[in-house]
């Protein structure tokens, strides 16, 4: 019997080879969906390998940790619906099978059947996403965007410090890492123009975000209180909420983002569970004014996740120049946290279902170079970013590839990471 919390012990080692600095040591064990022999399967990343849970369950190695059908589904939704008891039992079982000095059952059989290399398979979206919500929970980002979009008004609107502002995005255009992003067309109108015109966006941008995945969901009329949030949140992924600023600026009032956002949202393929992130839980920022009672949290609900945005232009790639990091920031400083976001999203009795995606909103810090979008980093294009090959960027050009990365490290814990969320811009 393995004690709870044992799976994050920094001294654990796997008998599967894990290189130093890997995002996926045995303390992580993130869940994803990959294609093998023409069939989508659930897997867990370990080092550079994937443990195929479909095969592992089929061989009977996971019978103590949930029904085989959950693990042989082509998506994670049935497992998400099963809840924290099943998730934790499965995680503990997987850790025992993969660790040095654990249960040797898997190691002693023909392991080729159970593993494949991450770089040899195609990843899929890990779950069917019924609903996708995007929040706006970084006070630095909301302040910067307020200044840029409404220069003559108060940067933060009066509701911002009272509730986690959000909008419903388009779940059917959530894309897995590596999917190309076509430059969108739409209506755009500069303030000086008398009429709008239709055409390809000239101000294509990224938004660096972290999203959480809903587990069991709730029933109509039954809000999820902040104290129950941990029973509902399966894990986190990186999210790039691609944004066409010219389309957005013209369309967004009075009902919020629409076609300037709905053309593409990229997520990283591996869902890092809350259990794996436990060593990196930290106290979030002080909230002033104190939130209304349904949004008050006592527990630490911020996560110290380091984040970076890399860009590689077509010319950089052709010249063999490495991707350049244009932003580095942390998730720890977000004003509104995951528990508050989920409690607020269901406070009116609205339904959430297994696999729903809730993204944080753009993550920006206050230091130069810590903003999660180009519109902030270049201050609406006024201060272009100089790239290593002599080019510069205000917004994205065709052929640019953007990579989001995320990882957690602190003394006394094993470093874990999220992998990447990549996308390359294709012409309109």
Non-local CB neighbours of 88 within 8 Å, separated by 6+ positions: 4, 275
Q: Tell me the closest approach of the beta carbon of residue 360 to Ca ion, in angstroms.
A: 8
Query: In this chain, which residue has its C-beta nearest to Ca ion?
Result: 241
Looking at the Cβ atoms of 140 and 241, the one nearer to Ca ion is 241
Looking at the Cβ atoms of 241 and 246, the one nearer to Ca ion is 241
Looking at the Cβ atoms of 205 and 241, the one nearer to Ca ion is 241
The residue length of the chain stands at: 428
Peptide bond into 254 cis (omega under 30): yes
Q: Detail the DSSP E strand segments found in 81-150.
A: 115-117, 122-124, 132-135
- Kindly report the number of other CB atoms within 10 A of residue 279's CB atom: 19
Looking at the Cβ atoms of 87 and 132, the one nearer to Ca ion is 132
Closest to 245 measured CA to CA, from 376, 125, 154, 335: 376
Q: Tell me the closest approach of the beta carbon of residue 184 to Ca ion, in angstroms.
A: 15
For tokens 């008050």, the residue is 296
What does 249-305 look like in DSSP terms, one character per residue?
HHH-TTT--STTTTT-EEE-S-BEEHHHHGGGEE--PPPSSPPPGGG---S--EE--
For tokens 């061989």, the residue is 59
> Which spans in 150-239 are helix H?
229-232
Measured distance CA(136)–CA(166) in Å, rounded: 6
Q: Tell me the closest approach of the beta carbon of residue 185 to Ca ion, in angstroms.
A: 20
Q: Tell me the closest approach of the beta carbon of residue 125 to Ca ion, in angstroms.
A: 19
Looking at the Cβ atoms of 79 and 208, the one nearer to Ca ion is 208
For tokens 């753009």, the residue is 362
Is the CB of residue 29 less than 8 Å from the CB of residue 38? Answer: no
Measured distance CA(88)–CA(328) in Å, rounded: 32
User: Of these residues, 141, 168, 232, 344, which one is catalytic?
Assistant: 141
Closest to 44 measured CA to CA, from 327, 422, 352, 416: 416
Non-local CB neighbours of 142 within 8 Å, separated by 6+ positions: 136, 155, 156, 160, 165, 361
For tokens 């966006």, the residue is 201
Non-local CB neighbours of 104 within 8 Å, separated by 6+ positions: none
Q: Tell me the closest approach of the beta carbon of residue 175 to Ca ion, in angstroms.
A: 15
Looking at the Cβ atoms of 23 and 134, the one nearer to Ca ion is 134
344 is catalytic: no
Positions in the binding site for Ca ion (CB under 5 A): 134, 207, 241
Q: Tell me the closest approach of the beta carbon of residue 134 to Ca ion, in angstroms.
A: 5
Looking at the Cβ atoms of 206 and 295, the one nearer to Ca ion is 206
Q: Tell me the closest approach of the beta carbon of residue 376 to Ca ion, in angstroms.
A: 12
Question: What contacts 24+ positions apart, CB below 8 Å, involve 67-71?
Answer: 71/42
Q: Tell me the closest approach of the beta carbon of residue 156 to Ca ion, in angstroms.
A: 16
Looking at the Cβ atoms of 86 and 403, the one nearer to Ca ion is 403
Q: Which residues are catalytic?
A: 141
């Amino acid at each position: 019997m393995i004690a709870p919390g044992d799976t994050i012990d920094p001294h654990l080692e796997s008998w599967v080879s894990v290189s130093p600095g890997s995002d996926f040591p045995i303390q992580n064990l993130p869940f994803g969906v990959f294609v093998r022999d023409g069939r989508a399967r659930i897997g867990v990343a370990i080092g550079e390998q994937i443990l195929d849970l479909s095969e592992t369950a089929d061989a009977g190695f996971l019978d103590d940790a949930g029904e085989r059908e959950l693990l042989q589904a082509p998506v994670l939704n049935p497992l998400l619906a099963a809840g924290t008891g099943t998730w934790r039992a499965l995680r503990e079982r997987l850790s025992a099978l993969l660790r040095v000095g654990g249960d040797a059952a898997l190691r002693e059989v023909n392991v080729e059947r159970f593993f494949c290399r991450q770089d040899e398979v195609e990843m899929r979206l890990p779950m069917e996403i019924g609903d996708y919500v995007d929040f706006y929970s970084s006070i630095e980002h909301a302040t910067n965007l307020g200044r840029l979009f409404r220069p003559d008004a108060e940067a933060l609107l009066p509701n911002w410090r009272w509730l986690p502002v959000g909008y419903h995005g388009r779940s059917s255009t959530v894309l897995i890492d590596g999917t190309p992003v076509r430059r969108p067309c739409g209506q755009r109108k500069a303030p000086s123009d008398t009429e709008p015109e239709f055409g390809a966006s000239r101000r294509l941008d990224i938004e660096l975000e972290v999203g959480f995945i809903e587990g069991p969901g709730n029933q109509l009329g039954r809000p999820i209180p902040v104290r129950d949030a941990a029973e509902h949140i399966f894990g986190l992924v990186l999210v790039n909420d691609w944004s066409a600023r010219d389309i957005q600026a013209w369309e967004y009032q009075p009902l919020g983002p629409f076609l300037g956002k709905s053309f593409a949202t990229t997520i990283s393929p591996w869902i890092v569970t809350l259990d794996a992130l436990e060593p990196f839980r930290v106290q979030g920022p002080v909230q002033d004014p104190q939130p209304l009672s349904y949004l008050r949290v006592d527990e630490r609900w911020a996560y110290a996740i380091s984040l970076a945005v890399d860009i590689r232009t077509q010319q950089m790639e052709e010249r063999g120049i490495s991707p350049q990091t244009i932003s580095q920031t942390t998730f720890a400083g977000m004003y509104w946290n995951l528990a508050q976001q989920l409690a607020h999203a269901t406070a009116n009795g609205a339904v959430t279902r297994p696999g729903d995606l809730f993204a944080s909103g753009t993550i920006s810090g206050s230091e130069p170079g810590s903003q999660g979008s180009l519109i902030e980093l270049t201050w609406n294009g006024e201060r272009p970013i100089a790239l290593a090959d002599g080019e510069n960027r205000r917004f994205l050009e065709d052929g640019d590839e953007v990579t989001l990365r995320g990882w957690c490290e602190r003394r006394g814990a094993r470093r874990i990471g999220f992998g990447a969320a990549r996308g390359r811009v294709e012409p309109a």
